[in-house]
């Protein structure tokens, strides 16, 4: 197969790293995308010795570490902070909950995440940026265009120091393009790149599941941003062929509810065209890993992880190094 296949550990955050790695090895994965949490990569413990322990655990199970992920903390760098963020942050980042203090501590933690990646020999940090203007997506009362452009400028102001640090460390940041983030489709991704002055340490984590149900052309995303795709998540999504009680916005219904218009699925069980994605990634010369992110409310997670690996291994292939009709051409 052409690329390494990883398991993203976030959805298994309640399982100790050693125990989880034993499972991941038994399923046949090549490595992991490690999530920053108490059980997998605890940044409070960051030191050369701690990094050696993490790497030793992976080596014990013949697994490679290919990416570090810190979505929740990244979200809090630019989000309007409220009570919801307390539940996704370490207490030392939340502190007294003062929004500006949370923003600053979250930014410092994202820089620390880059340092952890460098210490672990990893080149890519995957995560979120948050957004100061997501709540204005479908706004009434309406807002002037300057309000939206100011939101992009604010994200750039807060994230550029993080990106500068990553560039010095030899690490790249891959934003997962995702609703609730400053970039959630092709148009907003274009705006963000411009706001960041096309920073060399900034790129994207391509996850088609967040685009498909929106009606975004996820194959065009690869064609447009191929040189900025630093990481790939393999996650599927299903959406209905007919009207439902809850539309694209979800109707405040939980994931897995029968009346939703769309829901995440294990790879191969939704509507994402993964073979076409592989072909586009090949055209874009993406040689990085494919990271399985299990998010399927209707399937056991271990079953989903094992099955997803088989699907991704089967669907991935190397591009041809010769034209199929070359043999018919005579000198």
CATH number of the domain that 129 lies in?
A: 3.20.20.150
Q: How confident is the model at residue 325 (pLDDT cuts 50, 70, 90)?
A: low
Q: Answer yes or no: is pLDDT of 1 > 60.
A: no
pLDDT per residue as tens digits for the range 239-249: 999 999 999 99
Indicate the pTM of the whole model. Answer: 0.96
Number of independent structural domains in the chain: 1
**HEC-encoded secondary structure of 91-130:** HHHHCCCCHHHHHHHHHHHHHHHHHHHHHCCCCEEEECCC
**Closest-CA residue to 286 (of 318, 252, 240):** 318
Contact 32, 65 (CB under 8 A): yes
Contact 201, 175 (CB under 8 A): no
Query: For the chain, how many residues are written?
Result: 331
How far is the C-alpha of 6 from the C-alpha of 291, rounded, in Å?
4
Residue carrying structure tokens 């125990």: 19
How far is the C-alpha of 5 from the C-alpha of 310, rounded, in Å?
10
Residue 330 lies in a domain: no
Residue 225 lies in a domain: yes
Residue 304 lies in a domain: yes
pLDDT per residue as tens digits for the range 264-293: 999 999 999 999 999 999 999 999 999 999
Q: What is the SS3 assignment for 155?
A: helix
Q: Answer yes or no: is pLDDT of 327 > 70.
A: no
Residue 244 lies in a domain: yes
Could you list the residue range(s) of the whole structural domain that residue 164 is in?
Answer: 5-319
Residue 324 lies in a domain: no
- In order of 87, 161, 168, 279, 326, the CA distances from 320 in angstroms are 48, 41, 36, 11, 12
- Beta partners for residue 302, in sequence order: none
Structure tokens at 312: 């991704």
How far is the C-alpha of 263 from the C-alpha of 251, rounded, in Å?
13
């Amino acid at each position: 197969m052409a690329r390494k296949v990883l398991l993203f550990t976030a959805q298994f955050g309640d399982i100790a790293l050693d125990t989880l790695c034993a499972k991941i090895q038994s399923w046949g994965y090549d490595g992991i995308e490690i999530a920053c949490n108490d059980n997998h990569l605890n940044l409070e413990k960051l030191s050369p010795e701690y990094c050696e322990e993490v790497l030793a655990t992976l080596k014990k199970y013949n697994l490679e570490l290919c990416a570090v992920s810190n979505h929740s903390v990244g979200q809090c760098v630019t989000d309007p902070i409220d009570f919801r963020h307390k539940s996704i942050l370490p207490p030392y980042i939340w502190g007294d909950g003062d929004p500006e203090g949370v923003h600053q501590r979250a930014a410092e933690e994202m820089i620390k995440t880059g340092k952890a990646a460098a210490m672990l020999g990893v080149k890519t940090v995957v995560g979120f940026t948050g957004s100061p203007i997501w709540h204005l997506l479908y706004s009434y009362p309406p807002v002037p265009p300057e309000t939206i452009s100011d939101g992009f400028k604010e994200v750039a102001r807060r994230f550029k120091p993080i990106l500068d640090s990553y560039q010095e460390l030899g690490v790249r940041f891959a934003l997962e393009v995702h609703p609730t983030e400053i970039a959630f489709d092709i148009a907003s991704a274009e705006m963000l790149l411009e706001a960041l002055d096309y920073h060399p340490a900034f790129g994207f984590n391509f996850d088609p599941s967040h685009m498909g149900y929106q009606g975004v052309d996820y194959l065009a995303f690869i064609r447009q941003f191929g040189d900025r795709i630093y990481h790939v998540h393999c996650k599927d999504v299903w959406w209905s062929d007919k009207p439902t009680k809850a539309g694209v916005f979800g109707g405040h219904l939980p994931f897995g509810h029968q009346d939703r218009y769309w829901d995440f699925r294990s790879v191969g069980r939704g509507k994402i065209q993964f073979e076409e994605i592989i072909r586009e990634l090949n055209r874009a010369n993406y040689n990085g890993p494919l990271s399985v992110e299990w998010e399927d409310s209707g399937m056991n997670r271990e079953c989903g992880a094992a099955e997803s690996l088989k699907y991704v291994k089967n669907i991935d292939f190397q591009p041809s190094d010769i034209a199929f009709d070359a043999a018919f051409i005579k000198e």
